[in-house]
Amino acid sequence: MQTLLAGDCIAGMKTLPDGCVHTCITSPPYFGLRDYGHEDQIGLEETPEQFVSRLVEVFREVRRVLRDDGTLWLNLGDSYSGAAAGKRTGGNLAEWKNGGRRNPDVGETGHKKPGQSKQLLGIPWRVAFALQADGWYLRQDIIWSKPNPMPESVKDRCTKAHEYIFLFSKSPRYFFDHEAIKEDAVGQASGNLARKSRPSQSSLGRGDQKGSVPWEGGSLRSRRSVWTVTTKPFKGAHFATFPPDLIEPCVMAGAPERCCSACGAPQERVVEKTTSFWGGSGRAGRTAEDVNASGKWAGQQYGKNLKLGPLVTSETVGWRPTCVCDAGAPVGGTVLDPFFGAGTTGLVAQMNNRSWIGCELNPKYVEMARGRLGMPPSFARELEGLLG
C-alpha cells in the first residue's frame, strides 16, 4: 500500500481506520524557523505553547490510527528566543541544507521568537513531555549526532551538532525488532563502522593494546542511542529532507519485516544464537577449541594462550506467526509520516519492502514526492474530493 494524502494531516488521517499503521516516523516543521507558504502550516505559532499544543493534536490522531503495539519516532530540533526566526549565525539554514542553493519556495518568517533574548527554548523536550502527558509512553531519547553540522559564528556557546529522535509507544508492550538494527560490537554505529580488530597477544602480554590483528568474529550488539548520520543536500525545493540513513533504523525496528496480510499482526523472528571464543596457539592451558567444547569460559589469560570472548552471533532461521488467521503470504508493515515533505520516509519504507502512508499540506511538495516515488498523479488522493 502506497498512499499520499494531499492536504491537512489531521483531516487526512481522519479518513484512515483505527489501528491501521505499525509505526509513525516523522519530522515536523521546527518552531519559528521557516515559512513554507501555506496559511495552515505548523511552526509559525506566536508562542512555544501554541506550537506544542498543535503537535499534541496531530499526534493524538496518529495514536488513533496506530496499532496498539505501534511506535512513534519523532525528530525535532530546538530554537532560540529573541533572534528573527529563520535566521542563524553562520549562514542561512535554507541554503545550508539545500547544498548552498537558495530556496525560492521557502522563506524566512521575519518575526522574532518570543521570550528573553538568547534563551534556548527546549522545544523537543516540551513536546516530548506534552505527548507523555497526553497518554504516550516516552521510551527513549536518541541523539542524532551530525558530523557536518551547520556552521555557526557564535563565540559564547558550542556549535550545535545534534538533534533528538524520541521513541514513543502507544502501550507498555510494543513491537520493536532489535535484531534488525543491531550494530557491530566493535566500531561506531550508523554505518560508520571502524575496522574490526582485537588486541594482539603480545601487546596484551605487555599490558598495552597498541598492537592489533584482524578480528575473526562478527559479533553484534544492540544499537546504541547515539546515531551518527551526516546531513545530505537535496536538489529539490524541500531543503530540510530527512536523511535516509536516519530513517532506515526506525523503519527496520518499528515496521515488521513480515506481518499477517489479514490482521497486520507482526511475525516473530526465530533466532538461533551461537557463542564462540577466539583463542591462541594452545601451548599452555586450554585452547579455544577446548573452551568451546566444554561450553565454559576459562577466564582471562595472556600471551600465546590468549582467549577472547565470548562472541555471540545470532541468525534468523525462521518466522513464527502471532495470530491464527492463516491468511497466506506475509507482507511488510505500514509506515506513516504526517509531515511527508519530499517523501523520504516513503522512499526508505519502499526500499525496505514496507507500505507507507504520507500526508503533505503543500501542493508543491506533493508533486515533488510523487516524482521521487515514481507515482502517477492519480496515486495522490486529494482530500477535497474525499471529504466533499
Which residue carries 534563551 as its cell? 119
**Residue 103 falls within a domain, yes or no?**
yes
Q: What percent of the chain has pLDDT over 70?
A: 66
Res 43: pLDDT: 75
**Residue 188 falls within a domain, yes or no?**
no
Mutual angle of helices 363-373 and 344-351, in 10-degree steps: 20
Which residue carries 519530499 as its cell? 342
Query: Are residues 21 and 357 in contact, defined by beta-carbon separation less than 8 angstroms?
Result: yes
Res 113: pLDDT: 55
pLDDT in tens, 238-294: 455 679 999 999 999 999 999 999 999 999 999 998 877 655 544 444 455 555 555
**Residue 72 falls within a domain, yes or no?**
yes
**Residue 195 falls within a domain, yes or no?**
no
For residue 35, pLDDT beyond 60 = yes
Query: Average of pLDDT values for 34-45?
Result: 72
**Residue 206 falls within a domain, yes or no?**
no
**Residue 57 falls within a domain, yes or no?**
yes
Which residues form the domain of 241?
A: 2-182+224-267+321-387
- All three cell numbers of 340, joined, read 511527508
Which residue carries 488467521 as its cell? 325
For residue 139, pLDDT beyond 90 = yes
Res 375: pLDDT: 76
Q: What is the CA radius of gyration of the chain?
A: 24
Most confident of 64-73, 144-153, 239-248, 290-299: 64-73
Query: Are residues 143 and 124 in contact, defined by beta-carbon separation less than 8 angstroms?
Result: no
Phi, psi of 56 (to 5 degrees): -60, -40
Res 307: pLDDT: 52
**Residue 263 falls within a domain, yes or no?**
yes
In 3D space, the residue among 223, 221, 222, 241 whose CA is nearest the CA of residue 231 turns out to be 241
**What's the CATH number where 140 sits?**
3.40.50.150
Where do runs of H (alpha helix) occur along 281-361?
A: 288-294, 344-351
Q: DSSP assignment, residue 235?
A: S
Res 212: pLDDT: 41
pLDDT in tens, 198-232: 444 444 344 444 444 444 445 788 999 999 999 87
Write out the E strands in 201-349: 212-214, 220-221, 226-228, 268-279, 307-320, 334-337
**Which band of pLDDT confidence, cut at 50, 70 and 90, is reported for residue 78?**
very high
Q: How far is the C-alpha of 358 from the C-alpha of 346, rounded, in Å?
A: 7
**Residue 116 falls within a domain, yes or no?**
yes
Please give the tally of structural domains in the chain. Answer: 1
In 3D space, the residue among 92, 119, 118, 82 whose CA is nearest the CA of residue 34 turns out to be 92
Query: Are residues 144 and 157 in contact, defined by beta-carbon separation less than 8 angstroms?
Result: no
3-state helix, strand, coil in the chain (%, to 5): 25, 25, 50
Pairwise pLDDT comparison (318 vs 192), residue with the higher score: 318
Q: How far is the C-alpha of 1 from the C-alpha of 18, rounded, in Å?
A: 16
pLDDT in tens, 335-387: 999 999 999 999 999 999 999 999 999 998 899 999 889 876 655 565 443 33
**Which is it for strands 268-279 and 380-382: parallel, antiparallel or unpaired?**
unpaired
Instruction: Tell me how crowded residue 207 is: count the other CB atoms within 10 A of its CB.
Output: 7
Res 36: pLDDT: 60
Query: Average of pLDDT values for 230-236?
Result: 75
